[in-house]
């Protein structure tokens, strides 16, 4: 084994020496480029991810009666090693399935890099999505309070500090790039995918916080990625599951959606990620869907008008353009692989996030992407000069962050200790908690309802709607934190319950019997507001609890733990508190486990232990009789 590692290191160092031998007549990056094969170059434009391994028959063949086992990819198997060593992908993207603990993460990344270089490849950029809030991939790291919560603090310095924390933790693990920040303007309450990932529905606010976030990542030496260009906020369709359309003109985008992206460019963002969204008033080119046979407009990811003419030409971006994942249904359901490759590269994309491996059929598909790109260049359908242009941008980015200098991927005890101490550290989590407090927003407070005035021996009910039943452990955590702080009077009791389809009467009675009532509600789509839907029946229960508690002479606090659009859903609640996020917590977390601070801080604020200083960064429209935001 030692001889094998020494061989890897020797090959890597030899390759690095050759690559960086400066030619007196030219740029060292041009020298590297000239020594690359066509396959090396197109693979440099690919970002691969290996999430789950499952041995399945090739497409068209029957699955066995017993489904093959699925295993999260936390270490490389022989097939992945072979693919990486042959293809020399420009980047590797890590997901939650890849990550167990600090030592395992360090060793997985080192194995990717050493395997790639042993096959003659350049050091890879290692990416992940560490946005904070509901999108984060490091389960043992600092979770972050969500961009919308950062916006609610009103202080851009919090975005810079939060991003710097993420950046420091990523760097300790060997991850060089963050697919963040989201700078989409969440100007459509019906949006099913952006929501609390956005700083605000105001473009200037989103711009200011996005700029600060980029600065924070750069403070920590981490590559930043502004997404999703030219804007995913004003759509009611998720491009993971459908093909969204935004029917706006270029002038309209310039007045809103493009403002944060221009600020990100001015702030020096390294990369910009595309949106798989159709803009028929801007890109009029069409394509016949391979699944429906219908004519659809080319999405931004495939639009030369949007990516080259607007993003590069008008807005002056000279960094790396990266696609969103190409397995998303807005692309995979409508475009053949050959056309996906041809159109994205032709539009001006520099790096493609190829479909993440979730079984051996997708594994074979990843190889198809590389082979197809090579074939398209060899046939003349893609000019090799276009490939060279992108590869030079990628090399320039790697040079800027000293990634091309990497040769030693040994995982030392010092690296492990540093990662274990720094990732999810107490100092980072304390900073997160303080930001969560600053974000808490008292939307409404009548009848002295907030904060509670709990007397000795009194009972407080914390009732979680079914839509946030997976967060009910936050109630137990709040009780534990209150006890640790000795913040409850003698004999005071906290009862935590979950609303279900079968216990409505029990919930109503428990609320009437309690001295104080906190109702925790979660909106992850607008159906959560409608009592007639599977996602929203608990809101109907809450509608009955509030007047019943009032009849008993007591008050009700509603705590919102994701999208804040439920602030107007319960107009008769005495107080409404917005927290902007609550991570899954089915039970009391184990000692040392990582969890987001938003909801626990909000619950403590109800007991007057935390402050609540925030202001909602989005307008909260009244609802119509269909429980949807009323149109002006």
CA atoms within 13 A on the CB side of 585: 26
DSSP-derived 3-state class of residue 285 = coil
- In order, the DSSP letters of 161-181 are HHHHHHHHHHHHHT--EE---
Contact at 8 Å (CB) between 353 and 326? yes
CA distances from 228 to 14, 47, 91, 178 (A): 39, 17, 19, 14
Closest residue by Cα to residue 301 from 319, 274, 279, 282: 274
β-pair type (320-322, 271-274): parallel
Q: Which helix (H) or strand (E) holds 68?
A: none
240 catalytically annotated: yes
CA distances from 26 to 15, 18, 20, 29, 603 (A): 19, 14, 12, 8, 62
Contact at 8 Å (CB) between 81 and 89? no
Beta strands in 49-179 (DSSP E): 52-53, 71-72, 91-94, 125-128, 177-178
- In order, the DSSP letters of 188-214 are -TT-SSSGGGSS-SSHHHHHHHHHHHH
CA distances from 289 to 243, 295, 556 (A): 11, 6, 52
Distance CA 270, CA 257 (A): 19
Contact at 8 Å (CB) between 616 and 564? yes
Q: Which helix (H) or strand (E) holds 505?
A: helix 504-513
Per the structure block, which two tokens stand in for 469? 């039943």
Closest residue by Cα to residue 449 from 518, 548, 547, 552: 518
Catalytic site residue from 40, 324, 339, 566: 324
Per the structure block, which two tokens stand in for 449? 């309802």
Per the structure block, which two tokens stand in for 390? 């992108």
Distance CA 427, CA 168 (A): 12
Catalytic site residue from 240, 359, 515, 608: 240
Contact at 8 Å (CB) between 521 and 539? yes
Closest residue by Cα to residue 321 from 362, 269, 359, 258: 269
* Interior angle at CA 547, CA 465 and CA 456, nearest 5: 75
* Interior angle at CA 393, CA 400 and CA 275, nearest 5: 110
Contact at 8 Å (CB) between 509 and 550? no
Per the structure block, which two tokens stand in for 488? 């409850």
Q: Looking at the chain, how many residues does it have?
A: 632
Per the structure block, which two tokens stand in for 457? 């021996």
Residues serving a catalytic function are: 240, 324
């Amino acid at each position: 084994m030692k001889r094998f590692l020494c061989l890897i290191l020797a090959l890597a160092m030899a390759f690095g020496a050759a690559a960086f031998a400066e030619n007196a007549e030219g740029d060292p990056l041009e020298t590297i480029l000239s020594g690359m094969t066509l396959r090396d170059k197109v693979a440099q434009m690919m970002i691969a991810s290996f999430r789950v391994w499952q041995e399945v028959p090739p497409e068209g063949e029957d699955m066995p009666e017993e489904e093959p086992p699925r295993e999260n990819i936390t270490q490389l198997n022989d097939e992945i090693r072979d693919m990486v060593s042959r293809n020399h992908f420009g980047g590797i993207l890590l997901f939650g399935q890849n990550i167990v603990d600090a030592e395992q993460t360090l060793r997985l990344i080192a194995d990717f890099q050493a395997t790639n270089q042993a096959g003659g490849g350049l050091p890879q950029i290692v990416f992940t999505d560490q946005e904070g809030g509901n999108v984060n991939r490091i389960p043992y790291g600092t979770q972050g309070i969500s961009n919308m919560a950062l916006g609610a603090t009103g202080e851009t310095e919090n975005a810079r500090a939060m991003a710097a924390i993420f950046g420091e933790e990523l760097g300790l693990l060997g991850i060089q790039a963050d697919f963040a920040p989201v700078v989409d303007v969440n100007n459509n309450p019906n949006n099913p995918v952006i929501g609390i990932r956005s700083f605000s529905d105001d473009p200037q606010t989103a711009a200011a916080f996005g700029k600060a976030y980029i600065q924070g990542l750069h403070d920590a030496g981490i590559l930043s990625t502004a997404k999703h260009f030219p804007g995913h906020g004003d759509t009611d369709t998720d491009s993971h599951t459908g093909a969204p359309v935004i029917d706006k003109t270029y002038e309209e985008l310039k007045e809103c959606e493009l403002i944060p992206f221009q600020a990100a460019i001015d702030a020096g963002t390294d990369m910009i990620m595309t949106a798989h969204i159709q803009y028929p008033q801007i890109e009029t080119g069409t394509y016949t869907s391979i699944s429906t046979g219908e004519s659809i407009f080319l999405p931004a990811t495939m639009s030369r008008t949007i990516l080259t003419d607007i993003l590069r030409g008008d807005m002056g971006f000279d960094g790396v353009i990266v696609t969103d994942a190409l397995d998303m249904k807005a692309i995979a359901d409508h475009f053949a692989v050959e056309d996906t490759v041809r159109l994205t590269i032709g539009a001006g994309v520099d790096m493609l996030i190829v479909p993440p491996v979730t079984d051996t059929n997708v594994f074979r598909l990843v190889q198809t992407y590389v082979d197809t790109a090579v074939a398209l260049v060899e046939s003349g359908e893609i000019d090799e000069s276009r490939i060279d242009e992108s590869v030079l941008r990628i090399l320039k980015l790697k040079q800027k962050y000293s990634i091309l200098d990497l040769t030693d991927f040994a995982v030392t005890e010092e690296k492990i200790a540093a990662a274990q101490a720094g990732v999810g550290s107490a100092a980072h989590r304390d900073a997160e908690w303080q930001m969560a407090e600053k974000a808490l927003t008292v939307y409404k407070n009548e009848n002295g309802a907030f904060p509670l005035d709990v007397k000795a021996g009194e009972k407080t009910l914390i009732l979680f709607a079914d839509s946030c039943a997976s967060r009910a452990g936050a109630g137990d955590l709040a009780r534990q934190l209150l006890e640790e702080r000795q913040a409850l009077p003698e004999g005071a009791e906290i009862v935590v319950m979950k609303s279900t389809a079968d216990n409505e009467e029990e919930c109503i009675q428990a609320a009437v019997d309690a001295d104080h009532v906190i109702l925790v509600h979660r909106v992850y789509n607008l159906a959560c507001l409608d009592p007639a839907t599977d996602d929203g029946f608990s809101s109907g229960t809450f509608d009955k609890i509030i007047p019943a508690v009032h009849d008993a002479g007591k008050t009700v606090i509603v705590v919102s733990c994701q999208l804040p659009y439920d602030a107007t859903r319960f107009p008769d609640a005495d107080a409404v508190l917005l927290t902007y996020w609550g991570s899954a917590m089915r039970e009391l977390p184990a000692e040392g486990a990582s969890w987001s601070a938003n909801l626990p801080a909000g619950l403590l604020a109800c007991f007057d232990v935390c402050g609540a200083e925030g202001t909602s960064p989005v307008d909260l429209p009244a609802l119509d009789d269909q429980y949807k935001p009323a149109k002006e």
